[in-house]
């Protein structure tokens, strides 16, 4: 009888012990991004060297996918500074993140597909304005620390689809951005 009671007590302790170590994943953190699924960024390279603002917003749904849009505004007249012929651009994008082995998701190497809607001045004849759309790809790398601050470097390009005869044939996308994930 004493031996049976000891076995029951041991089974009770083991059951309680296993229950105390069982952990349910937090439903908000099943992909490793936690509650922070929104990002804002500023392309500091454009802001520092070309007097242009390029703001981006990205929504991160899991460790491998993100989507968002960028808004580019050239603060200088293209006639004065031919670094950018675009005056304004809106760029929706979709990203695939690769080789992500870290707990805090949607960072590391990425490939991006984008469409770009831009207006500017023709690089050959700066008197002619244009509006065109482009499709393209970019590649980059994103670093995010545990507090949500980020650094991103990317480079890519695309081809204008020819809505306007005055537009350039190719478009550029890329830069060095600083941002915050919230």
Q: For position 46, which CATH number holds? A: 2.40.160.20
Percentage of the chain exceeding pLDDT 90: 50
Backbone angles phi, psi at 178, to 5 degrees: -115, 145
Compute the average pLDDT of residues 62-69: 90
The model scores a pTM over 0.75: yes
Compute the average pLDDT of residues 125-146: 90
pLDDT number for residue 61: 81
From 156, 152, 151, select the one nearest 139 (Cα to Cα).
Answer: 156
The residue that leads in pLDDT, 65 or 4, is 65
Compute the average pLDDT of residues 1-28: 54
pLDDT number for residue 118: 95
Q: Which residues lie across from 140 on neighbouring strands?
A: 110, 154
Identify the helix (H) or strand (E) that includes residue 124: none
Strands (E) across 38-147 are located at 38-43, 52-60, 65-74, 86-98, 108-121, 129-144
pLDDT surpasses 60 at 160: yes
What average pLDDT does the structure give for the chain?
Answer: 82
Q: Which residues lie across from 89 on neighbouring strands?
A: 72, 118
Compute the average pLDDT of residues 29-58: 84
pLDDT surpasses 80 at 80: no
pLDDT surpasses 80 at 18: no
**Which residues span the domain enclosing 144?**
2-181
Note whether 177 and 42 are within 8 A (CB): yes
Greatest mean pLDDT range, 22-26, 64-68, 114-118, 141-145: 114-118
* Rounded CA separation 130/162 (Å): 10
**What is the dihedral angle through the alpha carbons of 23, 35, 99, 172, rounded to the nearest 10 degrees?**
170
pLDDT surpasses 70 at 20: no
Overall domain count for the chain: 1
Identify the helix (H) or strand (E) that includes residue 21: helix 2-21
Q: What is the DSSP string of 55-76?
A: EEEEEE-SSSEEEEEEEEEE-S
CA 130 to chain centre: 28
Note whether 70 and 87 are within 8 A (CB): no
**pLDDT-based confidence at 115, cuts 50/70/90?**
very high
Backbone angles phi, psi at 29, to 5 degrees: -120, 30
């Amino acid at each position: 009888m004493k031996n049976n009671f000891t076995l029951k007590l041991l089974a009770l302790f083991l059951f309680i012990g296993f229950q105390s170590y069982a952990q349910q994943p937090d439903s908000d953190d099943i992909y490793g991004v936690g509650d922070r699924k929104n990002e804002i960024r500023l392309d500091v390279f454009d802001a520092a060297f070309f007097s242009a603002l390029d703001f981006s917003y990205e929504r991160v749904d899991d460790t491998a996918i993100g989507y968002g849009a960028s808004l580019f505004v050239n603060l200088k007249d293209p006639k004065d500074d031919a670094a950018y012929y675009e005056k304004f651009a809106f760029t929706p994008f979709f990203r695939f993140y690769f080789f992500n082995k870290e707990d805090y998701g949607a960072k590391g190497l990425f490939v991006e597909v984008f469409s770009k809607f831009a207006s500017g001045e023709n690089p050959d004849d700066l008197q002619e304005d244009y509006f065109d759309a482009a499709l393209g790809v970019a590649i980059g790398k994103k670093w995010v620390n545990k507090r949500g601050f980020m650094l991103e470097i990317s480079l890519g390009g695309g081809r204008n689809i020819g809505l306007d005869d005055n537009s350039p044939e190719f478009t550029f996308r890329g830069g060095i951005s600083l941002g915050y994930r919230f």
